[in-house]
Structure 1
Amino acid sequence: MMTAFKSRMIPMITNEAAIACIGMYCMAVVMGYGRFLFTATLPDIMVQLSLSTTIAGWLASINYIGYFIGALIAMFVPQRSTWQAMTLWAIISVVTTMLLVIPNMSLTLWYIIRLIAGIASGVAMILSSSFVIQTLSPERRSVLSAVHYAGIGVGISASAIVTWWLLKLGYHFDVIWLVAGVTSLPLVWLLYAIKPRQVRAVDSQQIDAKQHVSVHQTYVNFKRSLYEAISGHHKALTLLFVSYVLAGFGYISSATFLPVMAAQRLTTQTYAGLMIWLVVGIFAMLSNPLWGALAKRIGEIKTLMGLTVLQAFGMCLPIWFDGAFGLYGNAAILGLTFVGMVSMTLTLFKNINPAYSNLLIALATLAYALGQFLGPLVTVALAGRDGNFNAGLLVAAIGLMIGFVLLVWFRRQSPKTAKLV
């Protein structure tokens, strides 16, 4: 009786386009809100809580430490448990978003919540991508996976719009985070609606034996898989990993502090920071189909190299132009490039050794998270007491150009690797 009631309340969704849209919503919640709403609300958080630039940088970096941990956790989630783990960590992401409404929290509690939010973002992003893409048929995968990844841009845009709307009404960051959490709640219902159908019953002793092996041999199996994944590809993978660390370092230096820079420089424009952040989100939504089409014509590696140079150029715009042009130009280029760079790089990792693509993608996410952790810390250290972010942007641009050189080197590897890219 209860099962029949649940089936009427939560119908099963099997349409591929609908699943891709639910994946987009999931990405918007766990990435757009769970990670990037902090950027949109950071100027207000700093004012309301009287935070220094250094503390703000640490709050950003602690979230990226969590993202690093989340990527580690995702590596060890069994394939059969993907939906369960994805749903659990998506719920945790929503809860940590809503917890920031609690008044007068200690700084320690802020660090803990942002750490857990980062873990939830890392796990849910990787597993939702895995779940959605595996659900899609091969002939529709390229188009609908772009819909799924567009959720990052949708979430960034939503974070800017919600923050602007509520600040204009006289509310502050606490209410903004509460509204973000409440508007994320339907995701739980939708994730349940795409729960995989139960396969036919298998002998319980066989299931117990498999689970027993997975517990006791996880470490051994991981070591073996890691060795087989990198065997024969050490140099190419090393070059790609280091370039991806630098990509994470480069983009986050701007992505964390762009609204703060706008508040500093465009003092006569009350909501300039949020308008600029909205530009990032809009261009991020457009980027994946655009660069995906280009990659089909010239290949992922050439597209990635072009995006890397373009992003480095964008980092220099606020240095060369102190006013609105530099900031809006940086925002547009940041939105256009960072999602595309992630997509292209992960495709390259997958192509190097397709048999171990999940493991390599998870390791790549760790590399990206490492760069994201270091970026805000270096940026605030270089900003000093004056809070001038130009030095940090310059270092980010230099790091991206070093990454470009590594990509050129990567492309010139063995003929076998060249054919893959």
Structure 2
Amino acid sequence: MIMLNNLSKSRVYLAGICSLIVTVGVARFSYTPLLPIMQAETGLTDAGGGWLATANYMGYMLGVLTAASMNSLHHKYLLHQLYLILSVITSIAMVFTTDIYLWSFFRLVAGICASGGMIIASGLILKWLVMNKYRGELGVHFAGIGISIIFTALIVEGLLMLSADWEQQWLFFAGVAAVFAVPAWLWIPHPKADANGQAQVIKDNPPSKTFSRIMLLAYFCAGYGYVVSATFIVDIVEGFAALEGKGPLAFVVIGLGAMPAVIFWDRVARKVGYLKALIGTYGLQIFGIMVPAFSDSLVFVLLSALIFGGTFVACVSLVLTMAGQFYPSNPAKFMGKMTLAYGTAQILAPVCTGYLAEALGDYSLGLYISAAVMVVGLVLILCLVMLEKRELSQLSEAAMESNELEAPKPS
């Protein structure tokens, strides 16, 4: 049933947040706090954990490719509803086996739900906001990622206090997903029309090919920088003898940093522009990634988690909002291309990091590599700032020349 009637900005944002809790929180982030528990109770190795993460990101890529290749917004809307259902089913399916290949398949499907659900919901929401004359900003929507992180970490900790095993944890997550899927199903706006039922034509503002390519490379770097910390943060913290048992706390702090930060960075972008805001998020994220490689102090590790949470979601929100504003008529299409770059880095990174951790006994080298890739991304963002200035200058000069040619000659 298409719920076009009685949609409001608050309901649409709530639907987006609920969609992220289901498709990103349960289908993606629940694995991070559950990884140490599954390793302890099922014998899953570091390398095996890396392979499951990679399978999830391969699914992430497939979800992105699907979203980027589909032109029909109606079909995307229906696909989003399918992803809500599959997010529940794949969580239930995890408890019926301990076979690494079946687990990999379920994580693959969950990855499809995570990226596809996020991109499609974000695109539909942005389109609805623009058509209804609201600001085309997704910070409130992407606060759902921070909420998802907090939810998953607190659920795991709460269930551990009740002596729940890994199977009961997955089943509980499936129940949570089913509950939050309801408002997401009802209030994600259908692309058919605006709130008054009147179809509108929206003009796109595509960037230059050079700008798009550099932006894709920069977002690739952000994907690499994100995935190592996001996937292994709990395991990294638990690896310090002085911090044993504090891993889930670090995951909660990431969520606490992410939830308000996306709204804050929206405000920053309004004042200084999206690219300059991204310079800030990239720089701070590099610092946040590196801290656990140099210190096992609880204060510094939690500071790292707070900074990381406050920047990686902001990177996603800012970049996807930019992408959607370039192509407001069909935001999810270019969002999909950007997320494809983000996801490409996430296929190799978990496996490489897992093997390095197994071989060296810790995640330090993986963190160094992750930070180095982010530095490259920061340089690329700086290049985009200079390119944007040059392109704007060229447009201004062209406009002046056009005005001079059109001006009447004095008699």
Aligning the two structures, in what range does the TM-score lie when normalised by the shorter sequence? 0.7 to 0.9
Q: In the alignment, is residue 410 of structure 1 matched against residue 404 of structure 2? A: no
Q: In 1, Cα distance between the equivalents of 2:386 and 2:4?
A: 51
Match of 2:408 in 1: none
When residues 353 and 198 of structure 1 are mapped into structure 2, their CA distance, relative to the original with a 3 A threshold, is closer
Q: In the alignment, is residue 125 of structure 1 matched against residue 118 of structure 2? A: yes
Match of 2:220 in 1: 245
Q: Match for 2:272: what amino acid?
A: I
Q: In the alignment, is residue 321 of structure 1 matched against residue 295 of structure 2? A: yes
Q: Displacement, 1:252?
A: 1.0
Deviation string 1:199-222 (CA, Å, 9 cap, x unpaired) is 79xxxxxxxxxxxxxxxxxxxxxx
CA contact (8 A) 2:67 2:333 kept: no
Q: Displacement, 1:175?
A: 1.1
CA contact (8 A) 2:220 2:344 kept: yes
Q: In the alignment, is residue 36 of structure 1 matched against residue 29 of structure 2? A: yes
User: TM-score scaled to structure 2, two decimals?
Assistant: 0.85
Match of 2:305 in 1: 331
The root-mean-square deviation of aligned C-alpha atoms, in Å, is 2.7
Q: In 2, Cα distance between the equivalents of 1:405 and 1:12?
A: 46
Q: Displacement, 1:369?
A: 0.5
> Which of 83, 89, 96 is residue 77 of structure 2 equivalent to?
83
Q: Match for 2:374: what amino acid?
A: L
Q: In the alignment, is residue 174 of structure 1 matched against residue 167 of structure 2? A: yes
Match of 2:93 in 1: 99
Q: In 1, Cα distance between the equivalents of 2:38 and 2:259?
A: 26
Q: Displacement, 1:381?
A: 3.0
Q: In the alignment, is residue 261 of structure 1 matched against residue 236 of structure 2? A: yes
- Structure 1 residue runs of 5 or longer lacking an equivalent are 1-5, 201-227
Q: In the alignment, is residue 113 of structure 1 matched against residue 106 of structure 2? A: yes
CA contact (8 A) 1:32 1:159 kept: yes
When residues 138 and 325 of structure 1 are mapped into structure 2, their CA distance, relative to the original with a 3 A threshold, is same
CA contact (8 A) 1:97 1:178 kept: yes
When residues 192 and 24 of structure 1 are mapped into structure 2, their CA distance, relative to the original with a 3 A threshold, is closer
Q: Displacement, 1:368?
A: 0.4
Match of 1:55 in 2: 48
Structure 1 stretch 363-372 or stretch 353-362: which is displaced more?
A: 353-362
Deviation string 1:322-378 (CA, Å, 9 cap, x unpaired) is 232332122111100011111222233345566675432211110001112222122
Q: In 1, Cα distance between the equivalents of 2:205 and 2:337?
A: 11
Q: In 2, Cα distance between the equivalents of 1:14 and 1:350?
A: 21
Q: Displacement, 1:415?
A: 4.0
Q: Match for 2:156: what amino acid?
A: T
Q: Displacement, 1:126?
A: 1.1
Q: In the alignment, is residue 286 of structure 1 matched against residue 286 of structure 2? A: no
CA contact (8 A) 1:245 1:370 kept: yes
CA contact (8 A) 1:240 1:410 kept: yes
Deviation string 1:47-91 (CA, Å, 9 cap, x unpaired) is 111122111111111101101000111123311223211111111
Q: In 2, Cα distance between the equivalents of 1:54 and 1:193?
A: 40
3-state DSSP of counterpart to 2:98 = coil
Q: Displacement, 1:235?
A: 2.1
Number of aligned residue pairs: give it: 382
- Structure 2 residue runs of 5 or longer lacking an equivalent are 194-203, 396-411
Q: In 1, Cα distance between the equivalents of 2:190 and 2:282?
A: 42
Match of 1:184 in 2: 177
Q: Displacement, 1:129?
A: 1.2
Q: In 2, Cα distance between the equivalents of 1:245 and 1:196?
A: 29
Match of 1:309 in 2: 283
User: TM-score scaled to structure 1, two decimals?
Assistant: 0.84
When residues 329 and 168 of structure 1 are mapped into structure 2, their CA distance, relative to the original with a 3 A threshold, is same
Q: In 2, Cα distance between the equivalents of 1:14 and 1:29?
A: 21
Q: Displacement, 1:297?
A: 0.9
CA contact (8 A) 2:68 2:335 kept: no
Q: In 1, Cα distance between the equivalents of 2:392 and 2:290?
A: 31
CA contact (8 A) 2:274 2:322 kept: yes
Q: Match for 1:55: what amino acid?
A: G
3-state DSSP of counterpart to 1:385 = helix
Deviation string 1:122-167 (CA, Å, 9 cap, x unpaired) is 2111111122222335543456x33221111111100000000011
3-state DSSP of counterpart to 1:140 = coil
When residues 365 and 417 of structure 1 are mapped into structure 2, their CA distance, relative to the original with a 3 A threshold, is farther
When residues 268 and 287 of structure 1 are mapped into structure 2, their CA distance, relative to the original with a 3 A threshold, is closer
Q: Displacement, 1:386?
A: 4.0
Match of 1:359 in 2: 333
Q: Match for 2:233: what amino acid?
A: L
Aligned residues with identical type, % of pairs: 28
Q: Match for 2:95: what amino acid?
A: V
